[in-house]
Amino acid sequence: MSTDPQPPATEPNLPTNTVQSNGRATGGCTGKGFKPGQSGNPSGRKRGFATRILELTDDGEELIQHALAVLRDSKASGKERAEARQWLSNYAIGKPVETHDMNVSTIVQERMKALIPMTRLASIPVIEN
């Protein structure tokens, strides 16, 4: 009978690497979330869904006519009319694209320029007499 210590049993389905290259734990803070490379919606929308809707609604014309009817209906609630207006503007015209001006201010540019010679000087070895 051998008295050699046996390695602990491991479960085959558990990941061996529980830390990502960025230092964070896989699966979020609970470890039960999505792992790297795992889809957040594995079932997802079926392929061809949008094509099928377009086929059933005369290339979307029925959807547009319905939204216009709600928008023009004086008996529709304000919320319904606002939703129809929003849908038409988002999908018929297109959602506005959010942009950000990433220009660095003149002050920051001047400070960055002042640092460049310092970094060059730091890399030169100092020779003492």
Round to whole Å and give the CA distance between 90 and 50: 16
Q: What percent of the chain has pLDDT over 70?
A: 54
Q: Look at residue 90 and tell me if it is in a domain.
A: yes
pTM: 0.43
Q: Which amino acid is at 111?
A: R
Q: What is the pLDDT of residues 21-53, one digit of tens each?
A: 666 666 666 666 666 666 666 677 778 888 999
- Retrieve residue 85's tokens: 């207006």
Q: In which domain, by residue range, is 90 found?
A: 49-94
Q: Look at residue 116 and tell me if it is in a domain.
A: no
Helix/strand/coil for 75: coil
Query: Lowest-pLDDT range, 8-22, 34-48, 80-94?
Result: 8-22
Domain count of the fold of the chain: 1
Q: Look at residue 77 and tell me if it is in a domain.
A: yes
Q: Look at residue 81 and tell me if it is in a domain.
A: yes
* Sequence-separated (6 or more) residues with CB below 8 Å from residue 81: 70, 71, 73
- Retrieve residue 70's tokens: 């709600």
CB distance 25 to 34 below 8 Å: no
Q: Look at residue 64 and tell me if it is in a domain.
A: yes
- Residue 125 pLDDT grade (very low, low, confident, very high; cuts 50, 70, 90): low
